[in-house]
Amino acid sequence: MTAHKRSGGGDGVIVLIYPRHSPFPHSVSTPLSIFYLGSFLERESFRVEYFDERIHSPKVLKELLEGDVLLSGISSMTSYQITRGLAISSCINKVSPDIPIVWGGIHPSMCPEQTIESPLVHFVVCGEGELTLLELAKTLREGTGDFGSIPGLVWKDGPKTVVNEERKFLDFNLIPSPYYGKAREMLMLYTGRKDVREPVGIQTSRGCRFRCRFCYNRFFNKKTIRLKNLDTVEQELAEVKSLGAGSILFYDDNIGYDRERILGICDITRCLGINWSADLSLNFLDSGLIRAMEESGCSYLFFGAESPSDRVLRYINKGQTSAQLKEGVKLMAQSSIKPMYSLMMGFPACTEDDLRETIDFASWIHETDPRAEIGLQPYTPYPGTPLYEESLEAGFKPPKTLAGWGLMTMDYVNTPWVKDKLLLRNLFLLSFLAFRYEKFLTGSPVWCLHKLALFRWNRKLFRFCFERIAYDIYKWFYRLLYKISGL
């Protein structure tokens, strides 16, 4: 059915949806990708409801869809969230086929024309979505069908796909707090959880100044960074603290571009008495900055270390050296802040020696700082990135459908130049069980797998990974639950 036939939705509610992004016990932090959109729409007098598949039952979604709905919006990253997003889209189509289904987020922005080829997708919002979704909502409400004048929109005109002109970036300071309106009411569903108390998300910037060749940011944010004024940051942090937030997660792609700005954020969190965590670059660290972050309430930092090889770091344009990585790990080991180090395997130009060096580096990190979380994940080519074109030349066959990208999970090795794909899959799973158990699996009945994975890692017994049996049973169990629930 074309977009024209779906116009004229009246003054109904806008339902914004965040599909589950992992089948495992994972982050249930606040979904800023839909909260920012919803707050922006509510400020323009639209009614908004949210469905977060991680915390809501399928019954909640079906009840929302049975009302007067103007449009449904689904946020999606590449990987498992696409699979769940398509299942939810199918549910929407069955409950009420006249509800326009709008997809947005990182993956639809990278592959808008392929995304809209799905019969379950009627519009795609590319890039920063606030203004595009607002103008689409107004057009649907008015029933004019004038979709061609909305920058950033991809839509169907009969059998033809129409890609409108790009949308220019908003001034980030003009976008309201994500906890305006309905999201403010929902906040207790996240801060009041008894199983895992996740931090409340806040963004102080959009975009990234780094130029990593594998990262979506070069495409999605066009090599720009937009900073929120620190006065506004302070207001938003004070607001979420007054709403009961015990800790904050800065959703910035990297909070470390300017030392004075980081120190300014530290001053704010220290004065407010807020515990916080963020992404940072290891080469940005020094003892004085770490001390300031400790005193300001920082408890957790994520580092994209990627590789200990200087050759690989130059190849991916990481902007840091092996010596800086190791010095940063040593500095963090002396601090009270818990670190998480992400390492990547299987870039097109990587060798078996590079993989062995990465494994040894992970072991060295664990010996240097036993508290550290460490994750190894296979490289997946993302459209729009410099390494994507190189990957195509090296034989990578991208999925031919939107559903195919949903299979690109972190344990799925899809690159033809990797000869021992099973080894990389095993390394991903074993590193998760060995080094990230405390955050995701504490108190679960599979604690023995953690001990076993750590034993196997220390002795480099990576080949016969029978832990994968438990892994596959877990995934099968969740698929069964979804089938029973109707989603």
- Taking every pair of Cα atoms in the chain, the longest distance, rounded to a whole number of angstroms, is 66
Q: What is the pLDDT along the chain (487 residues), one digit of tens a residue?
A: 444 444 444 579 999 999 998 876 666 889 999 999 999 999 999 999 999 998 999 999 999 999 899 999 999 999 999 999 999 999 999 999 999 999 999 999 999 999 999 999 999 999 999 999 999 999 999 999 999 999 999 999 989 999 999 999 999 999 999 998 999 998 888 876 655 457 899 999 999 888 899 998 888 888 889 999 999 999 999 999 998 888 999 999 999 778 999 999 999 999 999 999 999 999 889 999 999 999 999 999 999 999 999 999 999 999 999 999 999 999 999 999 999 999 999 999 999 999 999 999 999 999 999 999 999 999 999 998 989 999 999 999 999 999 999 988 877 898 999 999 999 999 998 998 899 877 665 555 566 778 888 999 999 999 887 777 777 777 777 667 766 766 6
List CB contacts of 309: < 8 A, sequence separation 6 or more.
322, 354, 357, 358
Both structure tokens of 348? 């097109």
- Of residues 48, 209, 217, the one with CA closest to residue 128: 217
Q: Which helix (H) or strand (E) holds 305?
A: strand 298-306
- Domains of the chain, start order: 4-163 (3.40.50.2300), 172-485 (3.80.30.20)
Find out whether 15 and 73 touch, Cβ atoms under 8 Å. Answer: yes
Cα(325)–Cα(342) distance, integer angstroms:
12
Amino acid at 188: M
For 375, phi then psi, to 5°, come to -130, 135
**How far, CA to CA in Å, does 59 sit from each of 95, 144, 182, 186, 307?**
12, 33, 19, 17, 45
